[in-house]
Amino acid sequence: MSRVIADLIDGEARLSLQGNSVRRLFQVQELTGAASHKLIAAAAASGIPRVGDAHPSLGGVVVTDVRASATGDPTIATVEVTYAIPQSSTGVGVGGGVEVSIVSDLYTEETITDVSGQRIETTFFSTGGSGGSFSSTVQVQAHRIEVQRPTFTVQYSRTETAPPLDLSLAYSGKVNSGYFLKQGADRWLCNVESSQNSANEHRVRYSFTLNRGGWQALIAHNSAGIIPATATTNNGIRSAQVYERVNFAALRLPAL
């Protein structure tokens, strides 16, 4: 298995009014196999960032290019990874700018907690007797209720030159992986819609719906609605990641 050495000092960072860019250099060692496959293996090695990945410390830029080069040693390759604001990933090139609108709405959500984060539950006693003696068992009944949550959707509309199918597949039904529109990860759920104006003009609308609590699911540990005595960790509740996370920076949408 090849070994990756990250961030050789020969890289480059450029911060300018035209947009930030960063070039990171990696060294991949212990390459084996046919010579024709070594550079491909180096570019795809575990530990090398992939196209579309966000920079670990500089916001607003993603990997736009990965390039592997040979060295004097046939078992070692240098991999150059370029981060920038992508100039053509969305096919933008037709005039008209970006239109932004905000739509308020309500959505129905099931909840198992109250406003303080505590489980909604009822405590009761189950009693029984045998041979003249009686026992009492405390049981806790968990509840799920439907509530109306206020939210809003931020919509960006613009004309693009490329068919939006790839973008729809990449972003629809995904949530933000990092800080986006003044909110942390998992808060914005994306949807992409489009209509075709002409062969080279597509009107595309990106919609981001806010869930202030995050779009992850809450799971309650119970059996037939009864909370087992052992379900004490974190009040018997845990969250589950049910939406794939992506970086929306590559869409190059204006901040609000």
88, pLDDT greater than 50: no
Asked if residue 245 and residue 158 are part of one domain, the reply reads yes
Weakest mean pLDDT among 59-63, 112-116, 181-185, 228-232? 228-232
Q: Identity (one letter) of the amino acid at 208?
A: F
Most confident of 15-24, 61-70, 87-96: 61-70
Instruction: Tell me the mean pLDDT in the region 8-33.
Output: 82
Asked if residue 151 and residue 25 are part of one domain, the reply reads no
Tell me if 48 is assigned to some domain: yes
Cα distance between residue 255 and residue 181, in whole Å: 6
Asked if residue 48 and residue 157 are part of one domain, the reply reads no
Asked if residue 105 and residue 70 are part of one domain, the reply reads no
Instruction: Tell me the mean pLDDT in the region 83-112.
Output: 68
Asked if residue 112 and residue 218 are part of one domain, the reply reads yes
pLDDT at 92: 45
Instruction: Tell me the mean pLDDT in the region 223-232.
Output: 66
Instruction: Tell me the mean pLDDT in the region 115-139.
Output: 70
| Contact assessment for residue 98 and residue 253, using Cβ atoms and an 8 Å cutoff | yes
Asked if residue 204 and residue 111 are part of one domain, the reply reads yes
pLDDT at 203: 87
Q: Identity (one letter) of the amino acid at 112?
A: I
Most confident of 44-48, 81-85, 235-239: 44-48
Tell me if 15 is assigned to some domain: yes
Give all strands (DSSP E) within the chain, no chain letters.
3-14, 21-29, 62-70, 77-84, 99-111, 121-130, 133-142, 145-160, 175-176, 188-198, 201-210, 217-220, 237-240, 245-246
- Residue 231 pLDDT level (bands cut at 50, 70, 90): low
| Number of domains comprising the chain | 2
**% of the chain at pLDDT higher than 90:** 23
Cα distance between residue 184 and residue 219, in whole Å: 21
Asked if residue 104 and residue 66 are part of one domain, the reply reads no
Q: Is 149 exposed, middle or buried (0-12, 13-18, 19+ CB in 10 A)?
A: middle
Asked if residue 186 and residue 103 are part of one domain, the reply reads yes
Tell me if 219 is assigned to some domain: yes
Tell me if 129 is assigned to some domain: no
Asked if residue 164 and residue 219 are part of one domain, the reply reads yes
Greater pLDDT, 98 or 142: 98
Q: Is 164 exposed, middle or buried (0-12, 13-18, 19+ CB in 10 A)?
A: buried
Tell me if 128 is assigned to some domain: no
How far from the centroid of its chain's Cα atoms is residue 225's Cα? 32
Tell me if 94 is assigned to some domain: no
Cα distance between residue 205 and residue 6, in whole Å: 38
Q: Which of 59, 84, 109 is the last residue of a domain?
A: 84
208, pLDDT greater than 90: yes
Whole-structure pTM value? 0.53
Tell me if 93 is assigned to some domain: no
Asked if residue 182 and residue 103 are part of one domain, the reply reads yes
Q: Which domain holds residue 20?
A: 3-84
- Residue 154 pLDDT level (bands cut at 50, 70, 90): very high
Asked if residue 199 and residue 112 are part of one domain, the reply reads yes
Tell me if 202 is assigned to some domain: yes
pLDDT at 84: 82
18, pLDDT greater than 60: no
Asked if residue 104 and residue 78 are part of one domain, the reply reads no
Weakest mean pLDDT among 37-46, 117-126, 187-196? 117-126
Q: For tokens 């009014």, what's the residue?
A: 17
Greater pLDDT, 156 or 213: 156
